[in-house]
Structures are given as structure tokens and as C-alpha cells.
Amino acid sequence: MQYKRSSALFAQAEKVIPGGVNSPVRAFGAVGGTPIFIKKAHGPYLIDEDDNQYIDYINSWGPMILGHAYQPVVDAVVEKTKLGTSFGTPTEIETKIAELAVSMVPNIDKIRFVNSGTEACMSAVRLARGFTGKDKIIKFAGCYHGHSDSFLIQAGSGAVTFGSPNSPGVTAGTAKDTLLADFNDLDNVRELIKANTNEIACVIIEPVAGNMGCIPPQPNFLKGLRELCSEHNILLIFDEVMTGFRLSKGGVQQLYNVQADIVCFGKVIGGGLPVGAFAARSEIMNHLAPLGPVYQAGTLSGNPLAMAAGLAMLQALNDDAEIYKRLEEKTAYLHEGMARVLTENKVVYTINRVGSMISVHFSKTPVIDFKTAANANNDMFKKFFHGLLNEGVYIAPSAFETWFIADALSYDDLDKTIAAVETVAKTL
């Protein structure tokens, strides 16, 4: 593969965009090298500016669950665009997507649309604070909830990839209200609640973590959190920005049968356009302006093009009774194939998977939290990443990310991927 045009475009971008990118992980900082500039994509494939083609396991970091340029989404956006791109007034399509989302996800009556996952989580926490009248929040080390100040305390994803888990610019005043717990450690949460009696507004969690690689909740961890929260009048926020509409129609709440108080969405719900949302039962949502005192707003929130893309995406998922079963089977097939070739080549690894989220850590111990994820062999991951890229397989350029499986992937694509993993495994 040659990357002549990508390299030239990156050099040009670096002059006018910090680091040449508009979101840090894209810069390949964790794996070395310079980023690839993508020209177009269709189905499971990306095509870069040098006309190299890749099987894509990033899928725009999650949204493209049905593959790129999915026709119903493209058509919906094109048609809407002809009618004008933004009005700043209510539109019918906002109610349509809200009704559909509320019908698909358990335990929510109302939903508010925003423009990103960051906004969704930030607003959810403000709402939780407003609703409970308490200030502190508990988050988990290695979980990423966007780049709002309160969350940049031992965050996962790019925040850890770039070695600044506690970002400058977050004030001590803000940081003191964010308490940190270890993922999968209920005792830790219990201790924090005890040490901060009547001060904690909410616990926010990625109920299946995806920002330190994929880390499933251990049995009864989520149920235990639910009980602790109910006992202490704390709201439980599920950040389902990654998992929502991906792991099941109703997300993790449905998959593990655990009820959250507020749920955050992003990625899939926007079909590839900039959309986030947060939702809860009416009692909580009615605290938001204009009904209640908790302020939250957005010039482009509920934008018609974004809503058209999101609605077409949710409809496609809602109408396909087999979609989550198919995604599960494809991902399990990839899982088994990769495990086989890595084992045959004596590579030390751990593969974690829930539904269509999967990741490979080069670790001989189970990866169950941030510490165990951070202990994996990152040098080996770098080689793995570049080896796969060279074979035409594009995975996230950091071990602290999840691979997303799209339904557009065929078994032939999966076989090619397993063959690529085998080729690279021989070099590790």
C-alpha cells in the first residue's frame, strides 16, 4: 500500500488544524504513523485518497451498524435536504423519531435530542443534579462520556491514548465533584457512597464499556449498581452512546434486564449524522426547560437532516427481526476465527466481546477494568494494527477502543479478516 496523497493531505491539514485532526484518536498517536484520509465508503469498505480499500471495523466509531452509505439513510437525507437544512422551529420528524426511540427502549417516556454523545452525557448529569439537588457524581476509570469537564477524570478512549487522563483546563472545583470507581468493583462504589452520604446525584457508566477496549460487566455488577442507587436515592445513568440500538433494540437495559434512570444515546441513533439524545421517565424529563428549571438547549438540536438519517436508521433496525441475531453470529464467527489463528501462532491475547462489540488485548490475564486493560502489551498492539492495515483491514488505532461489526460485512469479508490476522500473528 502507498499513502502518498494521505501523507500530503495530512501535512497540509497540520498547518491549519491542531494535530491535523478534529478528534485526537484519528491522528494515529497511539500506534505511530500518519492518518489515512478517507475519500468515500460503501457497505463494509473504506476507500482512501490513494485508492486503497479496507474492510472497516471502526464504522465511524459505531454509527454505521448497517454499513456505509446505507441507501435508506442516504435517500432520507437527500430528500430532506431539498426542503431546507434547518429552521430552528419544531418539525414533525422530531416527534416521529422520538416516538420510535421511546417505543424501542425500555423505561423511557421522553427523549431530548442534542448534537453529540458529549452533549447527551453532559446534559444527563445536569438533569440528575437538578432532579436530586445533589452535586457529586460517580464515574468509572476508563469509561469515556465525552469531553465535558466533569468526565475528563481518568477517562478512556482518546483521553487515555494521549496520556492526559486528567486534562489541563478542568478546574479543581469541577474535578472534586467527580468521584472515581473501578469498573466491575461494586465494593468500591459502596465505599464511595458511604463516604459521601447524601451528596451523590448520579452514577454514570458505560454499562458495557467500549472505551478501554470492550469490557463486559461481570455477572450482577449492573444489578448491584441498580440496587445501590435505589437504596441511596441516586440516579443511575447508562451511557448507551455506543451500546444503544447496537447490542439490542432496547440496548443494555434490555440485554441485561437492568433498569436505568437516564439513558444517553449517540452514534447509531444519528445514522452517521451528528446526533445525541438523553431520555428518562417523564417525572425526570419534565425537570428540563421549558417545563422545568434545568436548562438545556441547542440551535441545531433536532436538525431535520440529522433526524431524517436517525429515523431511517432506527426504522431499519426496528423492522428487521433478525438484525441483532445476525450481528451476534457474525461477530462470534470473527471471534472464534481470530482466537483460533492467534492461539495457533502462540500469541498471548484476550478477546472480549458483547454482541457486535469486540476487542483484542494482548494480555494473558482477563481484562475486566482499566488497570487490566492498561497492563496489556501495547507494543504488540501497534504491530498488530499496522500489520492489519497493510493487509487491508482497518481497526481502531488504539487498544483502548472497540471494534464495531456492521451487518454489511459478509462471511467472505470475515474470512479475509481472519486470514489477515493469521498473517500478522506470524509476525508478532
Q: Hey, which residues are catalytic here?
A: 144, 239, 267
Contact string (CB under 6 A) for ligand PMP, positions 42-61, x = contact: -------------------x
Tell me the residue nearest to ligand PMP as measured from the CB: 117
- Interatomic CA distance for residues 188 and 18, integer angstroms: 38
Please name the helix (run of DSSP H) or strand (run of DSSP E) that holds residue 379, with its range, or none: helix 378-390
| 8 Å CB contact between 283 and 277 | no
Three cell numbers at 364? 494473558
Binding to ligand PMP in span 233-252, by CB under 6 A: 239, 241-242
| 8 Å CB contact between 265 and 249 | no
What are the backbone dihedrals phi and psi of residue 242, each rounded to the nearest 5 degrees, phi first?
-85, -40
Q: Which stretch binds ligand PMP (CB under 6 A): 33-41, 174-182, 204-212, 368-376?
A: 204-212
Contact string (CB under 6 A) for ligand PMP, positions 257-276, x = contact: ---------x---------x
Q: Which stretch binds ligand PMP (CB under 6 A): 113-121, 220-228, 230-238, 413-421?
A: 113-121
Q: Taking the complex as a whole, how short is the minimal distance between the CB of residue 169 and ligand PMP, in angstroms? A: 17
Binding residues for ligand PMP, how many (CB under 6 A)? 17
When the beta carbons of 273 and 425 are compared against ligand PMP, the nearer one is 273
Residue closest to 112 by CA, chosen among 295, 257, 253: 295
When the beta carbons of 2 and 22 are compared against ligand PMP, the nearer one is 22
When the beta carbons of 211 and 350 are compared against ligand PMP, the nearer one is 211
- Interatomic CA distance for residues 374 and 369, integer angstroms: 9
- Interatomic CA distance for residues 263 and 242, integer angstroms: 12
**Dihedral angle, C-alpha 363, 366, 371, 376, nearest 10 °:** 10
Angle at which helices 304-319 and 71-81 pack, to 10 degrees?
Answer: 150
Contact string (CB under 6 A) for ligand PMP, positions 124-153, x = contact: --------------------xxx-------
Residue 413 touching ligand PMP (CB under 6 A): no
When the beta carbons of 44 and 210 are compared against ligand PMP, the nearer one is 210
Residue closest to 347 by CA, chosen among 328, 329, 360, 336: 360
Where do contacts with ligand PMP occur on this chain (CB under 6 A)? 61, 116-118, 121, 144-146, 157, 206, 210-211, 239, 241-242, 266, 276
